[in-house]
Amino acid sequence: MDDIIETAEVADTKLQTAEVSKPTIEEAHGKILRFGTKDLEDQEIKKKPEVPLLFTYKTETGQVDMIGVAHTSDVKSPMMQKITQEVGNYLNRTPKEKAIVMVEGFHGGPIPEWTSFDEAVNSSQEAGATAFMAREKGVEVISPEVPMEDVVAKLKEQGVPADRIALFYSLRAMPNLVRQGNLEALPRIIYRAQALAQAGWIPEFTADEEQRLKSDPEEAKRKGSEILRTAIPKLNGAMREINEQNVFNEETQEVLFSEADLHELTSPHSEKVETPLNQVARVDNEMRDDYLLDKIHEAVQNGKDPMVVYGGTHTVKINPALQHLYSTI
């Protein structure tokens, strides 16, 4: 009888130990690869692959699929063709009630409603392609990006000047505009960036002003010109403190950096000359990793099978965290 009781106690202890040792989201955050560590450098993430990285994880109720991409708007490239193939396979096999698609890049705003696949790609590259395909199937699409206000608060805690924060968020939004040859949205982007950073370049719009700008195209155009006249010298000044260059020609308001240069300036890992903007980008990038991991885990906890389409760097960095939480297929 004592042997039976002892055996039962041992079994109960093992069960309790198993419950205690179940992986936690807090532990998983500690597994994310961080910039400056050898583990991340060993992944050689600076090399852009021709086809996406594919990851699949088994959860208790289904699976997580993750695609690590090199951003592209070339619909004929092996990268885009493989992305759309994998997204199509996911949408076809996953019940709608379990499906949720996560795409990168829509910081602090809604995902646009495009009228065609080509429009989606031209606007937002593979993220647009993925989102458009998911919506065609009636599947929920989200862009799990950490609130920019949270990143700004952390940057300010670290002593980053408000003008530099405003410069970073202005530049980060510009590559797509430069690629499309359409800078009409630039005043709105700059206004939001300097407001987030509390740089004080432009007085905050009143509710009446906001309404007038939405309803009166001529007033919006006039106000946009005013914003650029005020903000361009501020942006140029903040940039000159970093590398003695201007962002804009102040007379013509022409952008003096190429799309590639803008990406380089706002990348967390510069392949040329490291600047303080790259350091800002690392803080932003790593907070985005943490936020994305939380949103994936939250979706799984809610019985979903997420499809995640993000830049290859993000996917490589959070892969060990997802391996800790779930088993790799």
Distance of CA 246 to the CA centre of its chain: 27
Which residue shows structure tokens 């198993």? Answer: 18
CA dist 299 and 312 (Å) reads 21
Which pLDDT score is estimated for 18? 47
Q: Yes or no: say if 288 and 145 are a contact pair by the CB < 8 Å rule.
A: yes
Please provide residue 190's backbone torsions phi and psi, each rounded to the nearest 5 degrees: -65, -40
Which pLDDT score is estimated for 105? 86
Per-residue pLDDT of the chain (329 residues; tens, 9 = 90+): 555 555 555 555 555 544 557 899 999 999 999 987 766 655 645 566 788 999 999 999 999 999 999 999 999 999 999 999 999 999 999 999 999 999 998 876 789 999 999 999 998 999 999 999 999 999 999 999 999 999 999 999 999 999 999 999 999 988 878 777 777 889 999 999 999 999 999 999 989 988 998 898 899 999 999 999 999 999 999 999 998 899 999 999 999 999 889 989 998 887 777 899 999 999 999 999 999 999 999 999 999 999 999 998 899 999 999 999 998 77
Which pLDDT score is estimated for 4? 52
Core vs surface per residue 201-218: b (16+ CB within 10 A) or e:
bbeeeeeeeeeebeeeee
pTM: 0.86
